[in-house]
Amino acid sequence: MFSYAERNIITAKRNCLTNNINEMRLRIHTSDFPELVIERDDPRMFYPTNGLFKEHSVTLNNRLGRGYYKEIYFDGIHIGHGNASLSQQTLVDFDSQYETVEMHFSLKGFSRSNNHNMAQKIDFSPCQHNIIYANHLKGTMEWNDDGLQIFEINLQPAFFAKYLPEDHFFQSFKKAIEKGSSCLIQNENNWITNEMYEIIHAIIHCNRTGIYKKMYLEAKVIELLLLQLEQIQDINTSATSSKLRKKDIDKLYAVREFIIQNL
C-alpha cells in the first residue's frame, strides 16, 4: 500500500439509460483542493451503434499533475489513451455504472485497483496487459508518482463475444460474463509484445478521417484482440505441456521483450 501526503479523489459515475444511452458524469477534486477541477455531465452513447463517431479529450494541468486523456467512441467500441505526470502518489475513487470488456495495456507506471465486488486486486506494472470484464465496479485505484501512461479499449460484451474462441481456456471467462461476475480473463498479466506496441502506436496516431478512420480503427482493435487471445492460449498451452513454471515462462517473455525494445 502507498503512503499519501494527501488523498486525491476522482469520482466517475456512468449511469446507464435505456437504448444503450449513458448519462456520463465525471468529477475530479482533491481532499485539500475544494474548488472543482473538472466536472462533466454529458448525455452521450458510450457504445454508439447508429453510425456515430465521437472524439473527446480532457487535459490535466494543476498541482495534482499534468497530462491528458483522449477518447474515441463508435459502433460498440470505446478507445481511450492517456499520459500523466503526477506530483505525488495518488488514490483515485471510482464508481462505474456500466458493463464492459476492457482490453487494458499499461505502457508506463504502476497501478493497483481494489474493487468492492472482485475478490482479487488488479495490479499493473509497465509493459503489461490483460482483459477485464467489469460490471458495475466500485472501488479505489492507486497510482504511483513516477508517471502513468495507459491504453485501453472497452468493448460491448456482445461485440466481444463474437470473437471469443470456444477453446476451453476461455470458458470460465465466458461463463463469468454470462453471470455478470466481474473478473480477469486470467489472473496473471501478460507482457505487451512488439507487435502489440506497433498496433497501439498505429491507433493512437491514426490520421484518417470519417468512415475510413472508423474502418481502420475497428480493424486494428480486432487485430489487437487477436494478439491478446493468441498469447493467452499459447501461454496456457505451453504451461500445460511444459515442465517450466508459469513465473519462469513469464520471465522468459520479459527477457525477450526487453531485448526487442533494446536492440
β-strand partners of 102: 132, 154
Residue 102 and residue 18 in contact, taking contact as beta carbons nearer than 8 Å: no
pLDDT (mean) for 225-233: 95
pTM, full prediction = 0.78
Q: Which residue has the cell 520471465?
A: 251
Whether residue 102 lies inside any domain: the answer is: yes
Whether residue 80 lies inside any domain: the answer is: yes
Higher pLDDT, 237 or 226: 226
Residue 42 and residue 24 in contact, taking contact as beta carbons nearer than 8 Å: yes
Q: Does the pLDDT value for residue 126 go beyond 90?
A: yes
Whether residue 174 lies inside any domain: the answer is: yes
CB under 8 Å, gap of 24 or more: what pairs does 97-100 form?
A: 97/13, 97/14, 97/15, 97/16, 97/136, 98/14, 98/16, 98/22, 98/46, 98/136, 99/16, 99/134, 99/135, 99/136, 99/157, 99/180, 100/46, 100/133, 100/134, 100/154, 100/155, 100/156, 100/157
Residue 105's contacts (CB-CB under 8 Å, 6 or more residues apart) are 128, 129, 150, 151, 152, 192, 196, 200
- Worst-scoring range by mean pLDDT, 39-53, 114-128, 232-246? 39-53
For position 243, what pLDDT does the model report? 58
Number of domains in the chain: 1
Whether residue 171 lies inside any domain: the answer is: yes
Whether residue 70 lies inside any domain: the answer is: yes
For position 50, what pLDDT does the model report? 67
Q: What is the DSSP string of 93-112?
A: EEE--SEEEEEEEEEES-EE
Whether residue 124 lies inside any domain: the answer is: yes
Q: Does the pLDDT value for residue 116 go beyond 70?
A: yes
The residue range of the domain holding 107 is: 8-261
For position 53, what pLDDT does the model report? 83
The CATH number of the domain holding residue 74 is: 2.60.120.10
Whether residue 95 lies inside any domain: the answer is: yes
DSSP 126: T
Whether residue 60 lies inside any domain: the answer is: yes
Among 75, 105, 55, CA closest to 208? 55
If you average pLDDT over each of 184-188, 218-222, 255-259, which comes out highest?
218-222
